[in-house]
Structure 1
């Protein structure tokens, strides 16, 4: 929103459901499931400085379902971090989704 406003584009906040929940739900992927995950985290994959977020390494060590936003440009690095945590890969399911709930 800040980026659009910086270019003179009017923006409004419309309360609703975050894409971090709606996109997985649209693909029938639960972000919480009793016995499968203790919690879910929503983190950024890429920082303002275009670096991999330190939170990705923390998330890879957790027992949480992890939803990573803005991570496509760092997907290789993200996968390397998660592969280091043998207990998570390949036993844990993985899904890569991109915006699907918008009209183009």
Structure 2
């Protein structure tokens, strides 16, 4: 099962890489995502914590995007980024779920 989860996470990250914006909209990360993801507030997976993101990525892009749009647990709908496009969300997820560069 761990192998399947790891494979799904790798596949999802590769999909994000292929479809996400070339550049992360850091202004949107700083005003919306960083509030919780920088410190892991309220159980949010921390930015660049690959292990913390694996279970979320393993759910697949459709489920993850649904969670972003509708909110999940303490995360409000759209993560409080009301001007983010789906491409922005994908780039932000890729940025947060991969190791720091």
TM-score normalised to structure 2 length: 0.31
Q: TM-score, normalised by structure 1?
A: 0.31
The structure having more radius of gyration, on CA atoms, is 1
Q: Which structure carries more helix by proportion?
A: 2
Greater RCO, 1 or 2 (C-alpha within 8 Å, sep 6+): 2
